[in-house]
Amino acid sequence: MSVQLTMPRLSDTMESGTIIRWNVKEGDSVASGDVVADVETDKATMEMPVYDDGVISKIMVEAGRQVPVGTPIAVISVEGDADKPLAAAPAKPTTSPEVITSTAGEPRAVPAVSSPPSVANDGDSPRLRISPLARRMADEMGVPIALIRGSGPGGRVVRNDVLAAAERMKTGGIAPLAPGSALAPRTPSATLPLAVMAIGEGSREVALSGMRQSIARRLVESKSTIPHYQVSMKFNMDPLLELRAMLNEQLEPQGVKLSVNDFVIRACAIAMRAHPFFNASFAGDRVMLHGDVNIGVAISLPAERGGGLVVGVVHHAELKGLREIAATTRALAEKARGRGLGPEEMGGATFTVSNLGMFGVDNFTAIINPPNSAILACGAAVEQPVVRNHQLVVGHEMAATLSLDHRVIDGAMAAEYLKSLKQHIENPATLLV
């Protein structure tokens, strides 16, 4: 018998996934638990294991293609059945050959292209993915979308694909479509938008990965639905930096290294116990106060993984000491930048910390990570002239800014939380007990 692999739902919000890389090829033997592919979801790149022993008989979705959850992507033949012929997959519907009039006035047949049922008043298949820029260029240049082969992720049509199709039409003697033609997907606009007109030599288009598209949607959702406001405060970092240096020196033989962010996470967690509305979510006609303190940590991803960021979660942060927090955050960062975090490692955050101080940023504001009600943006501990005990001295200060959901937390509550946070950070011995 044969077992069909389908695109799995690897997160609660996942609707489609992209096969980034197949780790097997047709004819390879696999065992239950083997990771056969890396799949990009709307949140991260994750490993896809199999749960049957057998042979990969057929790979149905090539790497780089995005398909909906539940789409068949491969077939496994169980041992002793690998040589049996597989049932033919249902043939995809194809369109009839279309005819475009050449410059000589003679009809030229265009090979039929496979496509799902068409959508009324739209010139391309509903599965065709094309960037807005590429679509506008195709409209303006009279290039029928049916002639364009996408080279972007998941077969997405990008700017260079339109230019290549236009060149093929030119060398093949095919005239561009006139506005209003039955094959023209849209009526070309009278003038190109300013963004298109500004494109020059050397410009290029970079398609968004599924994860970056998800990030974009969530950020727009957050800013458009949550009434953000910000409250900032500066902290004297000298006591914390001194304690950190001493602890790291003592813990070095054990391979432990504490970061400033580990202290900040611990301080946030303790302060949240005293201020429960910072561990809460807006729920329409009520506020949900969470029992567990789960702090999300923003992790930047390298360019080779598509860039962007993910949020790894330190669960039960109020119960963890500095050493355990350091081990957890390091493991989350390494896994996120390697094979990717799993749903359980990215889910359940009730508060988020974003720290750009390690990159030399002095201060910034962050966008709330729904369904959280707050996010803390931390800058660098900057050495500068400061006033201590009525004396001008050189010291380290860190600026931190809370972005808050005004439906849950008002300004006075924010000030009280920052006051508690300041107390713990400037008296770091309180974080050791």
Give the chain's domain count.
Answer: 3
Q: Are residues 182 and 57 in the same domain?
A: no
Do the Cβ atoms of 102 and 173 come closer than 8 Å? yes
Q: Are residues 68 and 130 in the same domain?
A: no
Q: Which of 191, 222, 238 is the last residue of a domain?
A: 191
171: containing domain: 98-191
Give the bridge partners for 411, in sequence order: none
Judge whether 299 lies within some domain: yes
Q: Are residues 221 and 368 in the same domain?
A: yes
Average pLDDT score, the chain: 80
CA nearest neighbour of 346 among 312, 388, 319: 312
Summarised one tens digit per residue, pLDDT across range 189-233 is 334 443 444 455 677 777 777 777 778 888 898 999 999 999 999
Q: Are residues 223 and 370 in the same domain?
A: yes
Q: Are residues 250 and 358 in the same domain?
A: yes
Q: Are residues 267 and 236 in the same domain?
A: yes
- Give the CATH number of the domain where residue 175 resides: 4.10.320.10
Judge whether 206 lies within some domain: no
**For the CA atoms of 85, 115, 62, 91, what is the dihedral angle to 10 degrees?**
0
CA nearest neighbour of 222 among 18, 407, 33, 21: 407
Q: At what angle do helices 260-274 and 411-426 cross, to 10 degrees?
A: 130
Q: How far is 4 from 87, CA to CA, in rounded Å? A: 11
Q: Are residues 387 and 292 in the same domain?
A: yes
Q: Are residues 252 and 374 in the same domain?
A: yes
Answer yes or no: 396 catalytic: no
Summarised one tens digit per residue, pLDDT across range 340-375 is 888 889 889 999 999 999 899 999 999 999 999 999
Q: Are residues 72 and 148 in the same domain?
A: no
Q: Are residues 60 and 123 in the same domain?
A: no
- Give the CATH number of the domain where residue 300 resides: 3.30.559.10
Judge whether 414 lies within some domain: yes
Q: Are residues 105 and 22 in the same domain?
A: no
Summarised one tens digit per residue, pLDDT across range 187-196 is 343 344 434 4
For the whole prediction, is pTM greater than 0.85?
Answer: no
Summarised one tens digit per residue, pLDDT across range 24-38 is 999 888 888 888 988
Pick the catalytic residue from 390, 396, 406, 424. Answer: 406
CA nearest neighbour of 269 among 313, 219, 335: 313
Judge whether 273 lies within some domain: yes
Q: How far is 191 from 196, CA to CA, in rounded Å? A: 10
Do the Cβ atoms of 95 and 113 come closer than 8 Å? yes
Q: Are residues 103 and 243 in the same domain?
A: no
Judge whether 145 lies within some domain: yes
State the CB neighbour count (10 A cutoff) for residue 343.
17
